[in-house]
Amino acid sequence: MPLANKLGITESAELARVEEQLSKKRALELFESGILDSLEAGTYETLATIHRRLFGDIYDFAGKLRTVNVAKGNFRFAPLMYLEASLANIDKMPQSTFDEIVEKYVEMNIAHPFREGNGRSTRIWLDLMLKKGIGMVVDWSKISKEDYLLAMERSPIRDIEIKYLLKNALTDQINDREVYMKGIDHSYYYEGYTAYKSEELEGSSPRQPMADRFAAAKAQAERHNSGRSAPDHSSHDPER
């Protein structure tokens, strides 16, 4: 069964396609509007704002702390009883150097504050810290899915691998639209969302009535369905 959603979608593959389309539009809007740059880097509140912006069209829980314990494989993310304290400690972590920023990112991944969409929102949050802290962002297109997921899986014990991957993918093109758009596509690819490219969604604003937005997204998803396989999110494993 898919997650409960505002759109009343009851089929997992359809929800995955519509979620990808609507949230990618919101990710582009964050960049184009300048909203992202106006946020304070490195706080949970900023991460919650990003998450709410990305997924607010789809889920009631967007931008809100999860109310269930979550796990990925054999790894359990921060237990509910410690989650708020963990986030308060992460807010206090330093972020003036590359190493400090990545260490903060790893800790936020361990916290995993949301029910769904942690990976996609937290990678945007990481880039904002890097941009404001050291004048760099990650060119995610340079990091393979397999290398990234393996490094993140090991990061709670040994963060040297994720630091190596991210450092070698840094770019000073911090305001480059193409770098950002490719980054969004790769971020979604890491989680199995590949039905749309960001460039395909340009010019279609998410600022329209919910019913119209859902109908348009559903129609476009159906057109893609015949030619592309949808990601399998039937189990709704939390993102890394």
Q: For 83-116, how does the pLDDT look when each residue is reduced to its tens digit (9 = 90+)?
A: 999 999 999 999 999 999 999 999 999 999 999 9
- Amino acid at site 22: L
Average pLDDT over every residue of 29-42: 98
pLDDT attached to residue 226: 53
pLDDT attached to residue 217: 58
Q: For 210-229, how does the pLDDT look when each residue is reduced to its tens digit (9 = 90+)?
A: 445 555 555 555 555 555 54
Percent of the chain with pLDDT over 90: 81
Q: For 166-188, how does the pLDDT look when each residue is reduced to its tens digit (9 = 90+)?
A: 999 999 999 999 999 999 999 99
User: Using H for helix, E for strand and C for coil, what is the string for the chain?
Assistant: CCCCCCCCCCCHHHHHHHHHHHHHHHHHHHHHHCHHHHCCCCCHHHHHHHHHHHHCCCCCCCCCCCCCCCEECCEECCCHHHHHHHHHHHHHCCCCCHHHHHHHHHHHHHHCCCCCCHHHHHHHHHHHHHHHHHCCEECHHHCCHHHHHHHHHHCCCCCHHHHHHHHCCEECCCCCHHHHHHHHHHHHHHCCCCCCCHHHHCCCCCCCCHHHHHHHHHHHHHHHHCCCCCCCCCCCCCCC
Name the residue ranges covered by the structural domains of the chain.
12-225
pLDDT attached to residue 158: 96
pLDDT score of 209 more than 90: no
pLDDT attached to residue 234: 42
pLDDT attached to residue 95: 98
pLDDT score of 236 more than 50: no
Taking the domain 12-225, which CATH number applies? 1.10.3290.10
| 138 DSSP β-pair partners | 170
